[in-house]
């Protein structure tokens, strides 16, 4: 994995589009799951046959939770889509929408991290490299915010060097 020094705004825009597409795919999966749970909850076989038979009720709770999760993800997609990709240069502090190239000291591993309040926990493939979406409130995100290229940060038991930012 190369450092990010030669990347452009078009590259970052492409990453942004990949993240939105993955969020939309996740939304579709959640909606299908919610619809399946709703279908199970309203199916004639889900009618309780005794006071201890709660299968239909449990499926209705699951469907409701999945629909709520879908609504939250819809809002995240709108908010993330409103973030315009911008380039950070090596002299700027890391902030939201910054793509960071990290290298662990022991063992020697490289990774790409995109700092975003939306989509945290996802990993997308971008230009043959996996990119982890990290929230600014996460332990790694807290360490990254306001750091600079060349800084070393602590992430759990690892020491990571910030190789470059975009």
6-29 tens-digit pLDDT? 678 888 999 999 999 999 999 999
* Whether residues 124 and 161 fall in one domain: yes
- Cα separation, 138 vs 28, in Å, equals 26
Domain that holds residue 114: 99-165
Among 92, 43, 104, 38, which residue's Cα sits nearest to residue 65? 38
* Whether residues 29 and 66 fall in one domain: yes
The vertex-74 CA angle with 73 and 80, nearest 5°, equals 85
* Whether residues 31 and 69 fall in one domain: yes
Residue 41 pLDDT > 80:
no
The total of structural domains in the chain comes to 2
Mean pLDDT, the chain, integer: 88
* Whether residues 123 and 153 fall in one domain: yes
The last residue of a domain, from among 36, 52, 82: 82
96-147 tens-digit pLDDT? 999 999 998 777 789 999 999 999 999 999 998 999 999 999 999 999 999 9
Is position 1 within any domain? no
The last residue of a domain, from among 38, 55, 82: 82
Q: Which residues pair with 114 in a beta bridge?
A: 99, 133
Is position 77 within any domain? yes
Is position 91 within any domain? no
Predicted pLDDT at 1: 43
Residue 77 pLDDT > 70:
yes
Q: Is the pTM for the entire model greater than 0.85?
A: no
Is position 90 within any domain? no
Q: Provide the CATH number for the domain around residue 124.
A: 3.10.50
Predicted pLDDT at 42: 74
Residue 5 pLDDT > 60:
no
The last residue of a domain, from among 34, 56, 82: 82
């Amino acid at each position: 994995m190369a450092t990010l020094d030669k990347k452009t705004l078009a590259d970052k825009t492409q990453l942004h589009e990949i993240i939105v597409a993955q969020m939309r795919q996740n939304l579709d999966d959640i909606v299908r799951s919610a619809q399946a749970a709703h279908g199970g909850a309203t199916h004639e076989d889900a009618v309780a046959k005794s006071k201890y038979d709660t299968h239909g009720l449990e499926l209705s709770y699951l469907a409701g939770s999945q629909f709520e999760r879908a609504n939250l993800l819809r809002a995240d997609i709108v908010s993330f889509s409103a973030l315009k990709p911008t380039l950070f240069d090596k002299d700027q502090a890391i902030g939201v929408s910054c793509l960071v190239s990290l290298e662990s000291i022991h063992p020697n591993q490289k990774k790409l991290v995109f700092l975003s309040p939306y989509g945290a926990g996802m990993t997308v493939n971008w230009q043959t490299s996996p990119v982890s979406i990290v929230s600014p409130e996460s332990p790694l995100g807290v360490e990254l915010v306001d750091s600079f290229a060349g800084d070393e940060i602590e992430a759990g038991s690892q020491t990571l060097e910030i190789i470059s930012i975009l």
